[in-house]
Structure 1
Amino acid sequence: MCRWLAYSGTPILLDNILYKPAHSLIDQSLHAKMGVETTNGDGFGVGWYVGDKDSPAVVRDIGPAWSDRNLREIAGHVVSPLFFGHIRASTGTAVQQTNCHPFRHGHWMWMHNGAIEDFHLLRRDLALAVEPSLFPYVEGSTDSEMMFYLSLTLGLEKDPPGAVARMAGLVERVGHEHGVEFPLQMTVAVTDGVSLWAFRYSSRKESRSLFYSTRVETLRSLHPDVAFLQEITGDARLIVSEPLGDLPGAWNAVPEGTYGVVRPEGDEMHTFTPVT
């Protein structure tokens, strides 16, 4: 599987999140504690929004994150209020740049940890369900990118939670038609550059780990000596595959079958159920 993080809040240097924490995403590329694999070295990607640019910048490569000098250079110079980071452990599809996350279409960005079970059996039916005008933009061969374009097809622009629910329902229906008992395993992050949605769901009801950070004001009261907490505003929030460190009270598990949204006007959490 993979590990990922999503940040929204005070514009911050990517290095402060990607490299500096004790159990940073870069550390997790070699020493993941809660993933299926300890090592996530089948590529990486970062995507970020900056200024008045409507579309995010995305940089992806097939090498391991822990030794990539270009990623270190980017992280040390880019400041962004909303960014994604992803390290990949392939579930069977090729290790190639177009299969690395995050995926981008217009102002949308998407990343995923998990898998569509027996994707090779379902792939043709799912591909035919993608809107024909969107299909030319599918560049790679992963189930993750297919899920993104299915969600775009099913209304991501107008109703992100509903679109992801319809995508999950479609994957499960097609999976069951092909005799796959538990077709879907996913933790997904998706953003339009303003709001950030995160989903934790699996057909087996045993989803991969996902955590969100405690509100900044609460952490400041718990840890008044932590300088980093004084530098960010109260709306800063991280969503991660596994905690970036062991700061007491900092991390909260996302419940099974749940999605949350982080936006400037506040955060919400809701039950997630596929729609068939």
Structure 2
Amino acid sequence: MQKEDIYLIDMWRLLRREWLWFLAVFVVVLLATFAYMRSAKPQWQADAWIRIGQIGTAPGGQDPKIEPLQRVLERLQLIPFQNQVLQSIGFMPDAPEAKLYRKSLKVEPLPYAGPLVKLSVRAHSPQQARQLAEATVAALQVIHRDIAVPQLRLAHQRLDEAQRDLQNVMTERDHLQQTVAQSKDNFASLLLMSKSDELSDLQQTRDDLLNRLGDAYTYDTALMWPVYVPDHTAFPNPVLIWGMGVVGGLFLGVVAAVGRNALRRRAAMQSVGWANAS
């Protein structure tokens, strides 16, 4: 502990002796930090949470999602898909805004929350960041709607068939009820019971299809919540940049002071050597 105190005292004396070099380097680093902060183009980040659409009439044991989570993540990172998003809002694929969009786009799976996909993208204005995030979700939504068309068509065909079968069985049951009421036919009574059971099954099938095609089980890919864009910039971060500038300036200032002191001592020793030699 005593040696460390001596070392610190020596360092303090060294800095007092070479304070001009220390201060000069420290100021230069702060000026460079200031220049960087002034020249750096600000970037805003938009965050979006996407709920993957699903079709509730999928067979048991099959994923009802329109597209599996992993495939959605891969699609969002495809260059052709990103170019499609950019072109939908008027950006060319080689524009600076397009390069920043592709570079900054990040996707994070949230498998236990829906599943959801968290999407983050940056732009040079908060409005543009929000627009890019919303355009990305809209492009994915269009693709998923196209994928869902055959499945939804098949589900509605099944519902129409169930409605027709239900109507036919109701007509037959009403006819049998009249027959039983008029003739007291035992065979007709058995048929009536059979039709009543069949009618109950068809009603259950129809109601289940209607329920599965309702909003609770069948829905589009869409934003879970509105796109979030903070009031402050994501880059540059003033606190972080200035903190790094101050720490870097202090470190380089100490290095400069130590280096200058070493050169000074070497020159002094050489002067002593020459004096002794003469």
TM-score interval (norm. to shorter): under 0.3
Higher RCO (CA 8 Å, separation ≥ 6 residues): 2
Higher helix share: 2
State TM-score, norm by structure 1: 0.21
Instruction: Give 1 or 2 for the bigger CA radius of gyration.
Output: 2
